[in-house]
Amino acid sequence: MIATDLASIAADFDAFLIDQFGVLLDGKAAFAPAPASLQRLAKLGKPILLLSNSGKRAEPNAKRLVSLGFARDSFDMVLSSGEAAYHLLARRIGSDLPHPTKIWLHARDEDDSGIRGLDAQRVMQPEAADLLLLAGSQADSLSMASYQRLLAAAAAARVPMLCSNPDMTMLTPRGLRPGAGAIATAYAKMGGPVEWIGKPYPLIYAEAAARLPGCAPARVLCIGDSPAHDILGGQRAGHATALVRSGLHADLTDAALAALCAQTARPDFVIPAFDLSQDAAWL
């Protein structure tokens, strides 16, 4: 793990896969230097995909970033796990899923983009569904015990779940809360089958590669705050990785962070934040 800063390494890569929460956003707003830094990185003229475990689709994520002060021309797209899951469902409905498919959708902010436009019928009871689409956690208002009660009958019936946000914890205005990944893990322990979409799983990286034609994997830099998601997933895809000290593990000492990485995945670089100074030679 090489301790450095973003300005020192950015010019060495041909494309960037950048996490949202913990890198650009703190759960309430943008980190102060992030919007201008992303704009400066875009001056390199290289592809920038915001690779996110958000269960929301690409466009709602992009609109939120613009509303928080990011210029729309500072990134190519938000490649969210919700976007990857949507295209996977579109391929499966009518093949290995019935049409219409009865889907129980659980998301944040009443977002239904995960099934909008699909040959799907939304149902309100998990046990009545052909498929559970877990796109987000509402654990800031629902307890894990409440989730277990809600999903118990579906788990007993082995209704398959597609988890399009595998994060175990999430940053909220009220602090860290269990993420959709924690809910899906609880569902699996109850006997329900779970398929995972997002970092560190392969599908989202395959989707990213399809949008980066000609980029050698080792010339792509993944920037994130989670060793278990951003760093492990990037390494499995053959990419270089940079761990930011903001986000999930901001309070860990260097020694504690090194121990955590040793248990999960070691990044190539450790940087203090997503922050580009104006004096970098390529700016």
- Using one digit for the tens of pLDDT, what is the confidence trace for 207-241? 999 999 999 999 999 999 999 999 999 999 999 99
Number of residues assigned to the chain: 283
Residue bearing tokens 């010019």: 11
Nearest residue to 86 via CA among 109, 107, 115: 115
Cα 5–Cα 79–Cα 172 angle in degrees, nearest 5: 70
Helix or strand (DSSP H, E) at 204:
helix 202-210
Question: DSSP class of residue 130?
Answer: S
- Using one digit for the tens of pLDDT, what is the confidence trace for 113-139? 999 999 999 999 999 999 999 999 988
Average pLDDT value for residue range 45-70 = 94
Asked if the model's pLDDT at residue 50 lies above 90, the reply is yes
Identify the residue with better confidence: 197 or 177: 197
Cα–Cα distance for residue pair 114/178, rounded to 1 Å = 21
Cα–Cα distance for residue pair 21/146, rounded to 1 Å = 26
Predicted TM-score (pTM) of the model is 0.85
Task: Identify the three-state secondary structure at position 236.
Answer: helix
Task: Identify the three-state secondary structure at position 30.
Answer: strand
Average pLDDT value for residue range 18-44 = 93
pLDDT tier, 279 (very low <50, low <70, confident <90, very high otherwise): low
Cα-based distances in Å from 111 to 57, 135, 173, 209, 226: 9, 9, 19, 27, 25
Domains located in the chain, CATH noted: 2-53+202-271 (3.40.50.1000), 97-196 (3.40.50.1000)
- Position 27 scores a pLDDT of 76
Question: DSSP class of residue 23?
Answer: T
The CA-based dihedral angle spanning residues 24, 27, 29, 30, taken in that order and rounded to the nearest 10 degrees: -10
- Position 8 scores a pLDDT of 92
pLDDT tier, 91 (very low <50, low <70, confident <90, very high otherwise): very high
Q: What ranges make up the beta strands (E) of the chain?
A: 2-3, 15-18, 48-52, 77-80, 101-106, 120-122, 131-134, 161-163, 169-172, 175-178, 194-196, 220-224, 240-244, 269-271
Cα–Cα distance for residue pair 20/78, rounded to 1 Å = 9
Percent of the chain with pLDDT over 90: 77
